[in-house]
Chains A and B, each alone.
Chain A
Amino acid sequence: MAFNVLIVDDSSTMRSVIKKSIEMSGFDVGRFFEAGNGREALAVLEKDWVDVILSDVHMPEMDGFSFLKALKTQTIVSTTPVVIVTTEGREERLEELLGLGARACVTKPFRPEEIKKILLDVFGMDKDVMEDKEAPEGADF
């Protein structure tokens, strides 16, 4: 199985760092999409099927807060899990993001394992599932 990932961050360096972390975590990624802010992210979602979004908070044009709010109004993509990746350290701001529907928050700098742990959780998988992708035929009835 391959997941499609959308990375939203105004820094292209940070986007490639996040991308690298996900690749290192061993996830089978089908396609990576990138966006520089919330508005660009919505444009990506309009065209392409995304399974998980990793988004920054402080971005020009449309920040993470507005992005989460806008996402809620979209019937098809409103359920797409969003993981916030941010330098924002204030508890109450993070709480607010979770209140807006973010599934989890990761504060920069982060370790690749943190991303991995969160993605496993987002997709409701445990490690066994990942390591045993091809279950033997007939074993799952």
Chain B
Amino acid sequence: MRDIKVLIVDDSAIVRKIFTEELSREPGIQVIATAPDPYVARDKIVKLNPDVVTLDIEMPRMDGITFLKKLMNYYPLPVIIVSSLTPRGGKLALQAIESGAVEVLSKPGAAYSVGDMKQQLADKIRAAARARVSRHKDEYSVEDAPVKLPTCALTETTNKVIAIGASTGGTEAVKKVLTRFPPTIPGVIVVQHMPPNFTTAFAERLNGLCAVEVKEAEDGDSVLPGRALIAPGNYHMLLKRSGARYYVCVKTGPMVCHQRPAVDVLFNSSAQYAGANAIGVIMTGMGSDGAQGLSKMRQAGARTIAQDEASCVVYGMPKEAVKMGAVEKVVPLKGIAQQVIDFL
């Protein structure tokens, strides 16, 4: 396979230098150019036709979101957003993903060491290179309306738990599923691979869009009907049970499958504590995180769903799960919410 051609767009010369140097050591990745601003970037995109672009969304004298929207309109290609770990950075990054970017990376410093960042950058570039992007269209079509269902169907389901795991392309996919859940849905727990602060902004954004309450999980939060908990970036989230009450344990620990939060950690704990009362959903993303955990869930009697290849931005994690025999139903993204409800 030929090298992945990468263009780095960042106003900071230091960041351009660090990224270029770090990536030069990665097999299969080649930085073909860097650009300090969007105009230069555009010229280089047209001339050099890169496979992946990393874009600093907070650059002076320009609106990164506007640039990204235009980019996705005229030259659609996989874009990784590089952003600061500030609340503003988190919000912008989320907007960027809604505008068509496939991945988010936090700038080195703060919660991540340079070592973690290196690995993540290379992983994300490989994931992005496989991502399917198309000319970006505005979201919120009519088919995004929440699924309607008789509330009586859910009255006997308070002991159920819905566990969802996703990575590349997952923020939009998770959004599509959660926005369709009715307020009577059993408790939902979500791991979406994302840096800290981005998960905060993500949960806030979803909370504004969904009929269910969406909250970034804190240690000890109860898993309740009508509520979705999002694992905070840089922490694992585990399902626990105390009597009849489900709650989550949010804690640090070694990365699993290069990830923290890891879907496997969530799914393993769901298999252990919810068994046949759980529904596991594995969605778009590179790698194999979640496959093993979903397999355990299925063995414990849980119903399991994987997003289908055609609707995945990257068909990696669901593919691995299917390969392991962990998946009961393969469903396109728009059908996942309904399938979950059918399984209740």
At the interface, yes or no: A49 with Cβ under 8 Å from chain B? yes
Q: Is the CB of B69 within 8 A of A1?
A: no
Given contacts A1-B43, A79-B66, A124-B61, whether A139 and B73 have CB atoms under 8 Å apart is no
Q: 1/0 per position for B226-252, CB-CB distance to A under 8 A?
A: 000000000000000000000000000
At the interface, yes or no: B108 with Cβ under 8 Å from chain A? no
By Cβ-Cβ distance, the 7 closest A-B pairs, closest first, are: A1-B39, A141-B14, A49-B74, A76-B73, A124-B61, A137-B13, A1-B40
Q: Is the CB of A30 within 8 A of B73?
A: no
- Residues from chain A with a CB closer than 8 A to the CB of B17 are 137-138
At the interface, yes or no: B89 with Cβ under 8 Å from chain A? no
Give 18 A-B contacts (CB < 8 Å), ordered by A residue. A1-B37, A1-B39, A1-B40, A2-B43, A30-B42, A30-B43, A47-B74, A49-B42, A76-B70, A76-B73, A79-B63, A124-B62, A135-B13, A137-B13, A138-B13, A138-B14, A139-B13, A141-B15
Q: Is the CB of A140 within 8 A of B36?
A: yes
List CB contacts (< 8 Å) of B59-110 with chain A: 61-63, 66, 69-70, 73-75
Interface size class of A (residues with CB under 8 A): 20 to 34
- Residues from chain A with a CB closer than 8 A to the CB of B14 are 138, 141
At the interface, yes or no: A125 with Cβ under 8 Å from chain B? yes
- Residues from chain A with a CB closer than 8 A to the CB of B75 are 49
Interface residues of A: mostly helix, strand, loop or mixed?
Answer: loop
Q: What is the chain A residue whose CB lies nearest that of B69?
A: A76
Interface size class of B (residues with CB under 8 A): 20 to 34
Complex Cα–Cα for A139 and B66 (A): 26
Q: What is the chain A residue whose CB lies nearest that of B37?
A: A1
Complex Cα–Cα for A141 and B138 (A): 35
At the interface, yes or no: B12 with Cβ under 8 Å from chain A? yes
At the interface, yes or no: A3 with Cβ under 8 Å from chain B? yes
Complex Cα–Cα for A44 and B232 (A): 44
Complex Cα–Cα for A112 and B15 (A): 38
Q: Is the CB of B66 within 8 A of A75?
A: no
Given contacts A3-B39, A75-B138, whether A140 and B12 have CB atoms under 8 Å apart is yes
- Residues from chain B with a CB closer than 8 A to the CB of A75 are 69, 138
